Structure 1
């Protein structure tokens, strides 16, 4: 699939999509989360791209919804589905569902729906889903103790793109590498020409590092990335910790088999701090504390030594009074010879205590105490002072040990996480897709839905245009789009074949019947369940739904409306046409003739049409063929309110509201006036 062949994908978007691991798979499967990982593409934009790719795959031009009212019903239906999703992702993913004319697309979604409605919604799953979101790639974290080096200009540019976390350096010879080794804990040289060189420090020569895009070899690339810049994987898992833990909870609540071992993932996550630092290693913690506490520990050790000497000098009986001696010392008198002669043992003891305190305070181990010994010692002095060069050396050694330990732990943990990188994507994707399924399942259950039957499939070779086949037939249909609680909606039974006029009293439910037919058709051709006990329909080539006009149109608008119906009449084959009181566009007499002409043309084509009209008699008289007239009948008035039978009666011209009122008055009075009026209906 050429990316730019997808509707709505231009050169810039195609370039962004090409950076995905497998853009064709993402487009083919409508994977909104994967598409949204492309640079600069939001989830909303990803949903539109996925929808365009699906349409292209099924050869669908997307023109099923031909009018504003049809598109409005679709948006309302989609809104009902999205309201039942827990995650933003599921809402966007549901936007890839649309009414299609392609049997392959409808069948694809119907299979998805059959699996979805088997899912049992559970509050525990819903709660867990609240924390799930598509995995994100965090911004690169600058790594200052490691660098890459190369003598090749192209390799240098590629390395900058591939490893933005690291410093990339240009080298010419061994001396340049040696200089870098003094500035960085680790230097990774990318040129084979430098192999075998002997340079002090941690210098590695790697010729296996891939510098192309991640799609050049993802599995190998992840392994190499874990070795070169493990911080990338660590920050990825740290950044997505909440989503990963929530996805695990979803799988557990839904009793699904996760793509990754939960204990292994939880164990790995417990070793990463929120900033991507490895935690839980005692030795690393010791070294980190030693580096952080070094200055304070050295200062305290100085105090320990000086307090010991100060006490010893104050109590010692020497050639001069101890207090006088102390006073001289504090005034800066030279005392090294005096200390050496008179207080040699006390000085050695003070130095021992200082060294011991420093070693204990920093929890030094192995050869580290030897470095600490150099901090104090040498010629006797008072006050005892640290050896700054030795302190600096100790700090350098401790920092290097800490960094080496951290680097090793990062590499080891990143190596483990690299094996989990792709499985966790599947883990989260499965949880998000479950939310999509559960949204459909909730819709199915809350609105008492059923899977509709397509007459094209049921009739086989006889075809949906067979005389025994209606265009659409519903039993117990209830619209969730009405402004009343769904439980209060009266069910409707209705079937339409060919061209039909629908008559009935005002507020009797004619418009809501059209809405129901439109909703059922849209949902069915989306591949989704419909709110009815039973529903059978043909697979329509399009839906034209014209809402009621607000008042008589002026000449220009009237002409525009006629042009619109003229275009419809030229291509109505296989379409469902719903029209609500078209007569309101002009005078009643002219309206009846216009509607009759439109119906004549639709009848000559293979269209299914329902026209709501109060001019059924006039239209039938003006038409050159026998038009079927159905009626939503009001069975009477009760306390001034109409009592209506909501299901249309086939081949029945419904009585109007005025006729019912006149009939009521005639029954209540002996006046001949009302009887005369009633005879005129």
Structure 2
């Protein structure tokens, strides 16, 4: 396959990958979503991630109907990758995409559930041991020996062989233990059972290391033969025989070879002292080179036999460590954020006790739903079932956009086969998720681009989820109400689901029978004059913006008498009595 047939791989990228990896290895890296190999070849990590997402999950990416939906998708994967146990697991998480079927999503949820149960069952010391094993694996370069060592360490933690650790229990620990030293002795890549020569590294064999040290020293002396000659002459020897003995002793001392080994290669006849030195050193280098080659061949044969016997186990260990790191990384993500397995259903999107993963601090869980569902409120009003569309109204800064973002995150996580931030969730199958944030640009170009973004998903064959925020922000309010009415009607007609945020509920024409209006209410000001909001929508009720609360805060925080008088005039417009009630604990100057 030509590399340029992959999305995002142009001529320059193809040339880079072919030069650094070769076509076959580059294709293998792309097909297996191996971000690390592409990055090592010179591709920026972000670009490699985008290429692999398209190569391995193009159909899933089509689920992301808008740029805002893609932003939420990217933020979710970035958040999940923070809990990855290895660099490789983080890369695998970043290339996840929505799955094409709910069956595939359910299978991944099964794996994550099993891993989460195991992770929760580990005590602090065991979790620390797992984290340490994977840290050492990464620090060692995430190669074959590192994988085998990680397997041996992790087997001790997951000794019961349950859940994701089961793949380790099936490996032959004895064969892997025998292979550890052999793997450490082999430099570079090799194929177990192949015919290519092995490169034997330092530490594999004491005698080989000794011979290599002697050879290095002999080469150094050979390169400086004149210095050797002068050094021996300076000892004051008087005869050729004494000179030859002194040379042999000096070379033996400098190289570590025995005098007998050096004498065996020294010339029987030499023209003079210089000829004896140079001939002896050349012969010693040649002899040591031959000994090193012979010894390396013997050691390599032994290593190949050891590695060949454990070849399948080594390959399985590499795969097992990669899979275990991925599963446990997702388990850490689920445990850290208290995520729950959603129920995958044919229709509907409903949550109980849902939280926004991108908010910090104390968060009020929300219960909400649209479409057919069976989620109950459990102490709070249950979201109605059966409505195809909800129109969400209410106070500014009331969490309406945050609710849309939360629903988008729940839908995308479930589509990727991942647990969701809710106590309970039912999530249907959506071919397209349209999430459109409020964009405060008021011109025809923005209106046109917005309509081009949110309408086409309603014209296709699949089912769309529409999450649209404040349509009125991009055109005049009167016409915005007409457009929103049309979008609601189209959503219902196409059997899609939609949640539309607006301040124009009272301007809308009568909604279809399968649409309802919900509201979020501000309830007053806190002692610190911050807006106090009940973020839980009230079903079937139009929310109020309650501007008197905002004006009350401005009056109370006015910097001087003139500024307070100005805000007081605004208070008169919105209802001075309501403002005074809100400021019952604040001084009101007449």
* TM > 0.5: yes
Q: Does 1:279 align with 2:203?
A: yes
Kept after mapping to 2: 8 A contact 1:302/1:384: no
User: Structure 2 vs 1, CA of residues 612 and 22 (structure 1 numbering), >3 Å: closer, same or farther?
Assistant: closer
Q: CA deviation at 1:600?
A: 1.9
User: Structure 2 vs 1, CA of residues 288 and 493 (structure 1 numbering), >3 Å: closer, same or farther?
Assistant: closer
2:504 matched to which residue of 1? 615
User: Structure 2 vs 1, CA of residues 547 and 503 (structure 1 numbering), >3 Å: closer, same or farther?
Assistant: same
User: Structure 2 vs 1, CA of residues 269 and 438 (structure 1 numbering), >3 Å: closer, same or farther?
Assistant: same
1:51 matched to which residue of 2? 53
Kept after mapping to 2: 8 A contact 1:259/1:424: no
- TM score, norm. by length of structure 1: 0.62
Q: Give CA deviations for 1:65-117 in whole Å, capped at 9, x if unaligned.
A: 11111111111111111111243322221123122453344234323323332
User: Structure 2 vs 1, CA of residues 96 and 107 (structure 1 numbering), >3 Å: closer, same or farther?
Assistant: farther
User: In the aligned structure 1, how far is the partner of 2:233 from the partner of 2:514?
Assistant: 117
Q: Does 1:84 align with 2:8?
A: no
Kept after mapping to 2: 8 A contact 1:304/1:354: yes
User: Structure 2 vs 1, CA of residues 629 and 265 (structure 1 numbering), >3 Å: closer, same or farther?
Assistant: same
User: In the aligned structure 2, how far is the partner of 1:624 from the partner of 1:263?
Assistant: 69
> How do 1:137-176 residues align onto structure 2 when only pairs under 5 Å count?
none
Kept after mapping to 2: 8 A contact 1:135/1:428: no
Q: CA deviation at 1:607?
A: 1.4
Q: CA deviation at 1:630?
A: 0.9
User: In the aligned structure 2, how far is the partner of 1:644 from the partner of 1:439?
Assistant: 36
2:134 matched to which residue of 1? 129
Q: Give CA deviations for 1:537-557 in whole Å, capped at 9, x if unaligned.
A: 221221111211305x22343
Kept after mapping to 1: 8 A contact 2:431/2:463: yes
Q: Which moved more, 1:424-433 or 1:592-601?
A: 424-433
Kept after mapping to 1: 8 A contact 2:252/2:262: no
Q: CA deviation at 1:6?
A: 6.2
Q: Does 1:473 align with 2:350?
A: yes
1:96 matched to which residue of 2? 95
Q: Does 1:267 align with 2:181?
A: yes
User: In the aligned structure 1, how far is the partner of 2:280 from the partner of 2:334?
Assistant: 76
Q: CA deviation at 1:510?
A: 1.1
> How do 1:296-315 residues align onto structure 2 when only pairs under 5 Å count?
none
User: In the aligned structure 1, how far is the partner of 2:109 from the partner of 2:232?
Assistant: 81
User: Structure 2 vs 1, CA of residues 276 and 501 (structure 1 numbering), >3 Å: closer, same or farther?
Assistant: same
Q: Secondary structure at the match of 2:409?
A: helix
Q: Give CA deviations for 1:552-606 in whole Å, capped at 9, x if unaligned.
A: x223433444455553553486211111111222232222222122212222221
1:371 corresponds to which of 264, 268, 272? 264
1:598 matched to which residue of 2? 487
1:492 corresponds to which of 326, 341, 366? 366
User: In the aligned structure 2, how far is the partner of 1:452 from the partner of 1:97?
Assistant: 18
1:503 corresponds to which of 393, 401, 417? 393
User: Structure 2 vs 1, CA of residues 262 and 581 (structure 1 numbering), >3 Å: closer, same or farther?
Assistant: same
User: In the aligned structure 2, how far is the partner of 1:405 from the partner of 1:267?
Assistant: 18
Q: Secondary structure at the match of 1:646?
A: strand
2:547 matched to which residue of 1? 658
Q: Give CA deviations for 1:486-535 in whole Å, capped at 9, x if unaligned.
A: xx111111122311111111111111111111111111111100011000
1:409 matched to which residue of 2? 299
User: In the aligned structure 2, how far is the partner of 1:563 from the partner of 1:307?
Assistant: 94
User: In the aligned structure 1, how far is the partner of 2:64 from the partner of 2:202?
Assistant: 55
Q: CA deviation at 1:635?
A: 3.1
Q: Kindly tell me the number of residue pairs found equivalent between the two proteins.
A: 505
Q: Does 1:111 align with 2:110?
A: yes
Structure 2 unaligned regions, length at least 5: 160-164, 189-198, 372-387, 553-573, 582-590
Kept after mapping to 2: 8 A contact 1:477/1:532: yes
1:520 corresponds to which of 387, 410, 423? 410
> How do 1:162-561 residues align onto structure 2 when only pairs under 5 Å count?
245=149, 249=153, 256=165, 257=168, 261-269=175-183, 271=185, 276-279=200-203, 281-288=205-212, 290-291=214-215, 357=249, 361=253, 368=261, 371=264, 386=276, 389=279, 392-417=282-307, 423-456=313-346, 464=347, 471-482=348-359, 484-485=360-361, 488-497=362-371, 498-551=388-441, 553-561=442-450
Q: Secondary structure at the match of 1:132?
A: helix
Kept after mapping to 2: 8 A contact 1:250/1:431: no
Kept after mapping to 1: 8 A contact 2:469/2:502: yes
2:475 matched to which residue of 1? 586
User: Structure 2 vs 1, CA of residues 433 and 373 (structure 1 numbering), >3 Å: closer, same or farther?
Assistant: closer
- TM score, norm. by length of structure 2: 0.70
User: In the aligned structure 2, how far is the partner of 1:627 from the partner of 1:21?
Assistant: 51
1:628 matched to which residue of 2? 516
Q: Give CA deviations for 1:200-258 in whole Å, capped at 9, x if unaligned.
A: xxxxxxxxxxxxxxxxxxxxxxxxxxxxxxxxxxxxx9x87667656654555555535
Q: CA deviation at 1:664?
A: 8.6
When the two chains are superposed, the root-mean-square deviation of aligned CA atoms in Å is 4.6
Q: CA deviation at 1:10?
A: 8.1
User: In the aligned structure 2, how far is the partner of 1:421 from the partner of 1:94?
Assistant: 28
Q: CA deviation at 1:481?
A: 1.0
Structure 1 unaligned regions, length at least 5: 137-236, 311-335, 337-346, 457-463, 465-470, 670-681
User: In the aligned structure 2, how far is the partner of 1:354 from the partner of 1:504?
Assistant: 101
User: Structure 2 vs 1, CA of residues 302 and 401 (structure 1 numbering), >3 Å: closer, same or farther?
Assistant: farther
User: In the aligned structure 2, how far is the partner of 1:392 from the partner of 1:2?
Assistant: 51
